[in-house]
Amino acid sequence: MPLSPKEIAQMIDHTLLKPDATEVQIVQLCQEAVAHHFWSVCVNPFWVPRVRRELDGTPVRICTVIGFPLGATSTRAKAAEAEQAIRDGAHELDMVLNVGALKSQNVQAVLDDIRAVVDIAKGKALVKVILETGLLTDAEKIKACQLSIEAGADFVKTSTGFGPGGATVADIALMRQTVGPHMGVKASGGVRDFQTALAMIDAGATRIGTSSGIAILSGTPSASETY
């Protein structure tokens, strides 16, 4: 049975992570999310208090990013950033995996990094682990998913939107196969139109991170996916 526009809207994190995003644009993002019934807005941590004020009294959730966009900050810094974001009003934390540690096969460092954020967020916010799939081999993607499960994360996510490449159907299928049916999988990066979003969902995505949510719902491709 095909998904309704409302069901698809409830799978979208309406995203604006550009470094030059202005307060006017952030407020507009929130207003669009309310109008189109998106699940959340996803913004940089600085904007979380402003978004909280704007979305007060609405069902739209607040998502922010941790260790963004490189994932190479210290574990202590990520934990502190997560704690502050939750205090400011974030309901969901999209943290960037330590890609360099993973590629160095320092799996304990990767596990500890994810777990530090999960421990801070427990009972307060969901944690999504951004793998930055464009930098990883399939074996590394599988290992990253396994470590995310072990650390207690709620979702795995493909991309930051600032790295090489974005979400692919093949990566979503691999991630879904690895994590099983009960963990969230978020497709992010390059999801600009209805058909692409539907393909990601069919492959196993349960959330879509995009700045093109309105275009997706209207069935009209967006000229560019700008984070």
Residue 21 lies in a domain: yes
Q: Which residues face 187 on adjacent strands?
A: 208
Residue 226 lies in a domain: no
Residue 129 lies in a domain: yes
Residue 187 lies in a domain: yes
CA distance 122 to 105: 27
Q: Which of 128, 157, 171, 193 is catalytic?
A: 157
Name the DSSP class of 130: E
What domain range includes position 134? 5-218
SS3 for 80-101, per residue?
A: HHHHHHHHHCCCEEEEECCHHH
Residue 186 known to be catalytic:
yes
Residues in the chain: 227
> In 3D, which of 80, 151, 168, 145 has the Cα closest to residue 111?
151
Q: Which of 78, 113, 186, 193 is catalytic?
A: 186
Residue 227 lies in a domain: no
pLDDT of residue 219: 86
pLDDT of residue 62: 99
Number of domains in the chain: 1
What tokens does 118 get? Answer: 């999960």
Q: Which of 13, 78, 94, 154 is catalytic?
A: 94
Residue 225 lies in a domain: no
Residue 224 lies in a domain: no
Q: Which residues contact 62 (CB under 8 A, 6 or more apart)?
A: 40, 41, 43, 48, 51, 52, 55, 89, 90, 91, 92
Whole-model pTM: value is: 0.95
Q: Identify the CATH number of the domain in which residue 184 sits.
A: 3.20.20.70
Print burial letters for 33-63: b (CB count within 10 Å at least 16), e (below 16): bbebbbbbbbbbbebbebbeebbeeeebbbb
Residue 163 lies in a domain: yes
CA angle in degrees (0–180, nearest 5) for 100-106-109: 90
- The pLDDT averaged over each successive group of 10 residues in the chain (227 residues) is 89 98 98 98 98 98 98 98 98 98 98 98 98 98 98 98 96 98 97 95 98 90 48
Question: Which residue is it, tokens 């499960």?
Answer: 149
CA distance 58 to 162: 30
